[in-house]
Amino acid sequence: MNRPDELISAIVEEDRLLLSRLEQCPDAFLEMRGSGGLLSFKDTLGHLAFWDSFAVRFFTRKLDSTVENDSPPLNFEQRNRQELQRVRQLSFTEVMKLYGKATRDLITFLNSRWHELSEKQRRDLFLPLKHRRHHRLLLEKTLGSQQDTDLLKEHEEEA
């Protein structure tokens, strides 16, 4: 693929689906985590924002650097826990801004730097799309089970 159009369109569609679900989500569920440690809506947005920003920084450094990066490997699990702790201290509005900026930066990077990427790097940049889709589907599961539980409670209270 010589142009990023297909990837960008798919990312924009995932973003649309996620934000559409957000519009349907009661405020009470925005920070509520699902059973088994599933992320809340807020956690999910912050998580996606962090990793999409990381991907843009990583590939930008790769393209801009003429020397190999000597930094030690990133401990992804530790970094992920730290980022979730940070996101949980922010307001939902602040996390939405981070998510929006990360999405715009990813699309801008794909539009402006795609021609500089190798075929392998282009394939690797499909990971943020797969990651977004994975978390959107998990979020659907979390929100669906929470809403079902609340509807059941409401029904029991009415009876």
pLDDT tens-digit series, residues 134-145:
999 988 887 776
Residue 105 CB-half CA count within 13 A:
20
Span 17-44, average pLDDT: 87
Residue 81 corresponds to which amino acid? Answer: R
At residue 69, does pLDDT exceed 70? Answer: no
Closest CA to 83 of 117, 118, 53: 53
Q: Which residues neighbour 16 within 8 Å (Cβ) at sequence distance 6 or greater?
A: none
Q: Provide the H-helix boundaries in the chain.
A: 5-24, 41-64, 76-88, 92-113, 119-124, 127-158
DSSP code of residue 89: T
**Position 147 pLDDT exceeds 60:** no
Give the mean model confidence (pLDDT) for residues 65-79. Answer: 67
Mean pLDDT computed over every residue of the chain: 85
Q: Which whole number is the average pLDDT over 83-109?
A: 96
Going by pLDDT thresholds of 50, 70 and 90, the confidence category of residue 28 is: confident
- pTM of the predicted protein model: 0.84
Over residues 28-38, the mean pLDDT reads: 82
Domains, the chain, ranges and CATH? Answer: 5-158 (1.20.120.450)
